[in-house]
Copies of this chain bind each other. A is one copy, B any other.
């Protein structure tokens, strides 16, 4: 089994000893264990601050050499602590574990997991502790996989080793029907499907990184999201079970990290939208929802959401293109929020959309944009209405 421990789970020496004790317990229960660790607490932030102090534009290769160090500190510390609990353990860097990646620094993708030394360690009866978030490129340089990507390391190792389970230990007890800080009676979900988890991660649920869920789904790795503070059973993320009745709605999520741009009065001809969104993609802006009104007299309004951090750049791009697109104006709004309801059962229950709109209308909450997938409906509303929207939807779908 693979167990991944996040930054707060290994935040100090006491936490590391608690993790070691739990790994020792897992071993006594008869499991081979591969542990994947994140950097302790703020270590990576401290390294990034140092990089900013020595250079205005750090070399991407050197940046990865630097920020991969945090996990390399945690891994041997966990092994040392395991030694005190009588468990032989050996630590590996991403490179030593054979995590082979593409060469793009800071956002490398895993090409292959060799894992020979990890397998050898297991065969010798040892626990293997692997530094997460990093690998080695085909050009023999240290790479990192992007923020929070230790989950991806864990899932990739689990897939490569044929592990029965990948446990993701964190500081919450699992995946909830809504953010418990907003909805006090939110319920921990015992089980969600990969598809639901993907939608939850994509729309504001911060427990699992979207990418690691995608990886787990593609490689059929069952995840167990649980707490390293209470050690109680958490949420199992796995294949949809077609024999079971699906809950219509599983969770309500929200996200207030985005902003909206509207390009008004664009001439309505083929290629206009392509031109606009290509220009945004060139600036590495991740556009999320896009809404285009049906044209009435030859022009149209295009609205889209994007991360607030990218709003300034996004507006610049749109202004530069406004003339070429024949647009009458560009406006932006950074006081929006998105509320989503997610559930695999929606596919066969057509009434959910109506129920969602009725609930928001009852609360006098105006819907500014709508987007849907087969198992999700998202509405953009005013930021100040977001928490009220989440609570009312959570009640309306009886998730508490």
Given the interface pairs A16-B54, A54-B13, the reply to whether A76 lies near B83 with Cβ below 8 Å is no
The answer to whether B84 and A57 touch across the interface, beta carbons within 8 angstroms, is yes
Q: Report Cα–Cα, A77/B59, bound state, in Å.
A: 10
List chain B residues, Cβ under 8 A from A227: none
Given the interface pairs A13-B50, A72-B69, the reply to whether A57 lies near B83 with Cβ below 8 Å is yes
Given the interface pairs A13-B50, A13-B54, A16-B54, the reply to whether A75 lies near B65 with Cβ below 8 Å is yes
Residue of A20, A72, A75, A80 ringed by the most chain B CB atoms within 10 A: A80
Given the interface pairs A61-B90, A62-B91, the reply to whether A81 lies near B55 with Cβ below 8 Å is yes
List chain B residues, Cβ under 8 A from A79: 59, 61-62, 65
> With an 8 A cutoff between CB atoms, is A53 at the interface?
yes
Instruction: Tell me, rounded to whole Å, the shortest Cβ–Cβ distance linking A129 to chain B.
Output: 9
Over the window 349-363 of chain A, the binary record of Cβ atoms lying under 8 Å from chain B Cβ atoms (1 yes, 0 no) is: 000000000000000
> With an 8 A cutoff between CB atoms, is A58 at the interface?
yes
Interface size for A (C-beta < 8 A) is 37
The answer to whether B56 and A84 touch across the interface, beta carbons within 8 angstroms, is yes
The residue on B at minimum CB distance from A16 is: B54
List chain B residues, Cβ under 8 A from A57: 83-84
Over the window 41-65 of chain A, the binary record of Cβ atoms lying under 8 Å from chain B Cβ atoms (1 yes, 0 no) is: 0000001001101111111011101
Over the window 171-195 of chain A, the binary record of Cβ atoms lying under 8 Å from chain B Cβ atoms (1 yes, 0 no) is: 0000000000000000000000000
The answer to whether A58 and B72 touch across the interface, beta carbons within 8 angstroms, is no
**Residues 71 to 95 of chain A near chain B (Cβ within 8 Å):** 72-73, 75-81, 83-84, 89-91
Q: Report Cα–Cα, A63/B81, bound state, in Å.
A: 11
> With an 8 A cutoff between CB atoms, is A122 at the interface?
no
Instruction: Tell me, rounded to whole Å, the shortest Cβ–Cβ distance linking A150 to chain B.
Output: 17
Q: Report Cα–Cα, A17/B84, bound state, in Å.
A: 41
Q: Report Cα–Cα, A89/B77, bound state, in Å.
A: 31
List chain B residues, Cβ under 8 A from A81: 54-55
The answer to whether A83 and B66 touch across the interface, beta carbons within 8 angstroms, is no
**Residues 351 to 383 of chain A near chain B (Cβ within 8 Å):** none
Instruction: Tell me, rounded to whole Å, the shortest Cβ–Cβ distance linking A270 to chain B.
Output: 45
Residue of A62, A76, A140 ringed by the most chain B CB atoms within 10 A: A76
The answer to whether A47 and B73 touch across the interface, beta carbons within 8 angstroms, is yes
List chain B residues, Cβ under 8 A from A17: 54
Can you add 13 more A-B contacts, CB < 8 Å, to A50-B73, A55-B80, A57-B84?
A: A16-B54, A50-B77, A51-B77, A54-B77, A54-B78, A54-B80, A58-B80, A59-B80, A61-B90, A62-B76, A63-B80, A66-B73, A66-B76
